Amino acid sequence: MTTTDDSWREKLTPEQYHVTRECGTEPAFSGRYWNHKGDGVYRCVCCGEPLFDSQTKYESGSGWPSFHAPVEAGRIEEQADTSHGMQRTEVRCRSCGAHLGHVFADGPMPTGLRYCINSAALQFEDRKEDKP
């Protein structure tokens, strides 16, 4: 997906742009989904790609929405992130390249992973809206 910087600025709020296009991070416990309990799918705020299902969401205590797995492995891509003097694994939307957050190997089973994702990178779609 190719979109110009100006197009992203028009489509996204300043916070969404900062997080997804500039690899920013929202403050812990400040995002709209960190404590969200809805039943549905979390989509990329930039392109609408389904990324995480609420059935894989759990309370990690980190202050960001945490998931133990993406909807499908092919929906996200991971890359090394050595910024801020740390070694982490960055998570991006495979469709549009949006920065989502990071993944850590300290999550619950069945995967043992914690996808720590910025709320500003997500748009929630309630599963109930899909039902007649």
Q: In what order do the strands lie in the sheet with 76-81?
A: 57-58, 66-67, 114-117, 99-104, 88-93, 76-81
132 pLDDT exceeds 60? no
- pLDDT the model gives residue 131: 53
| Residues in Cβ contact with 86 at an 8 Å cutoff, skipping those fewer than 6 apart | none
Q: Which residue in the list 44, 46, 96, 116 is annotated as catalytic? A: 116
Tell me the domains of the chain and their CATH numbers: 5-127 (2.170.150.20)
Query: Structure pTM?
Result: 0.91
Q: Which two tokens stand for residue 29?
A: 């416990």
The residue among 101, 123, 126, 93 whose CA lies nearest residue 33 is 123
What does pLDDT average to over the chain?
A: 93
- pLDDT the model gives residue 4: 86
Active site includes 116? Answer: yes
